[in-house]
Amino acid sequence: MPARHTKGRTQPRRTSLTAPSTLAALAALLAIARLPRADAAYKPLKTYAGSNFFDAWDFYGHYDNLTNGDIDFVNRTDSSDLAYINSAGNAIIKMDNTSTVLYPNKRRSVRIQSQDTYPIGSLWVFDFVHVPYGCSVWPAAWSQATVWPQGGEIDTFEGVNLMQTNQYALHTTSGCTNSNSSASNFTGTLTYGDCDTSANSNSGCTILDPRTSSYGAAFASNGGGVYATEFSKNGISIWFFPRANVPSDLSSNSSAPNPTGWGEPAARYGGSSCDVPTFFAPQHLVIDITACGDWAGHVTNTTGCPLKTDLCYTSFVLNSSNYNTAYFEIPSIRVYSNADLAANSSASATATNTATSASASGSSAVKSAAGRTRAGSSLEAVVAGAAVLIGGWALL
């Protein structure tokens, strides 16, 4: 640091560490350094709820050319019967369960993606009253980077057909893995350990929730529940809470969720086997429902839905009543920011800047979260000042 010119003095003044005032100042600085950071708690960043729920999402508006489902995803203009707010004030996202579909046409459904992206240091909370299920039905609530798979994918909620429990997963480039020992303490059952999209037919590194209340009819009969995903530089953790067990700090009016009080997550990834800033960039939230396709269409017999013909499509898609339970009912989706969990990660900062420039229409949340990260450096500056003092120089 250049010396300041004060009354002709061009060198910083040497100060004795034994001076009482100096020792007192040093003690105060060290005490501050030991205190919890003021920005360590999660703070509200974005809420999707009520009449404005759909305002900040993009509708896919194309047939399912991503997972090869027998679905036409509607655009915003044509979505009013499939994406709307019900009388309870909750968002409904559903498959068409009324139209007659003639062979070889596809059934209408919805896929939406958030315009904003959310960087490392974010927590998103899906509050669901009902989730889709049924033969051929493949719903998901998940996230992905602007560039996939380089920026990673996090599957918070996903299942097919009449599965009994939810499946969590990550999808990444080569090098990210998971095991019962590499990710500390999760309650789910690890089924695949390699997150690489080119391995195991892009199954991802998957963990099954042990509770039947996490998916399907049992989920609905219990009044739904809450899924929370913590996207931290230290790891990715996902919790599920049935309605009766939702923590008070995850209620809809909570402004300060605290994952340290939630117990072990159902799924956790990270540690030395998968460095989060290396494999993940800021994430778009995605909600969709497709039918048959690469997963649901190939495991019908093992997930409660034996085929009536030789194809998933002709067995189920042509029958509109098959989709009476194929809908999400969503009181809210909330996103929180915690700068402490993004700090000291140059890869995270670089990824944030890249995604911001790549998705200008969704840049506001990224900028807001990045701003909190930068503000979090103030304490380090104070401690750095203490280091200068320890060296024996007082910059006045």
Does residue 153 have an active-site annotation? yes
**Are residues 292 and 162 both part of a single domain?**
yes
CA pseudo-torsion sign 121, 126, 131, 132: negative
Radius of gyration of the chain (CA): 25
Per-residue pLDDT, averaged over 214-223, amounts to 98
Same domain, 155 and 209: yes
Mark whether 48 and 64 lie in a shared domain. yes
Same domain, 198 and 225: yes
Write the pLDDT tens digit of every residue in 57-109.
999 999 999 999 999 999 999 999 999 999 999 999 999 999 999 999 999 99
112 and 253 co-located in one domain? yes
Q: Are residues 135 and 212 in the same domain?
A: yes
* Shared-domain flag, residues 291 and 214: yes
Same structural domain, 19 and 107: no
Q: What is the DSSP letter of 275?
A: -
The tokens describing 324, both together, are: 């009476």
pLDDT at residue 380 in the model = 32
Do 368 and 242 belong together in one domain? yes
Residue 294 inside a domain? The answer is yes
* Together in a domain, 201 and 59: yes
What is the residue type of 199?
Answer: A
Lowest mean pLDDT among 270-284, 343-357, 372-386: 372-386
Domain presence at residue 2:
no
Q: Does the pLDDT at position 227 exceed 80? A: yes
Dihedral sign (CA 51, 56, 62, 67): negative
CATH code at position 101? 2.60.120.200
Q: Which domain holds residue 54?
A: 43-372
Catalytic site includes residue 329: no
pLDDT digits (tens, 9 = 90+) for 310-352: 999 999 999 999 999 999 999 999 999 997 777 654 333 333 3
Q: Where are the alpha helices (DSSP H) in the chain?
A: 20-34, 216-221, 276-279, 293-296, 312, 346-358, 363-375, 378-390
Question: Residue 291: is its pLDDT beyond 50?
Answer: yes
> Would residue 7 count as lying in a domain?
no
Cis previous bond, 104, omega within 30: yes
Say how many domains are in the chain: 2
For residue 84, which phi and psi values (nearest 5 degrees)?
-155, 175
pLDDT tens for each residue of 106-162: 999 999 999 999 999 999 999 999 999 999 999 999 999 999 999 999 999 999 999
Catalytic residue among 158, 230, 264, 329: 158
**For the chain, percent of residues with pLDDT exceeding 70:** 76
93 token code pair: 């996202």
DSSP assignment letter at 130: B
Instruction: Give the contacts of 68 (CB within 8 A, at least 6 positions apart).
Output: 292, 293, 294, 297
- The answer to whether residue 1 is domain-embedded is no
Q: Is residue 107 part of a domain?
A: yes
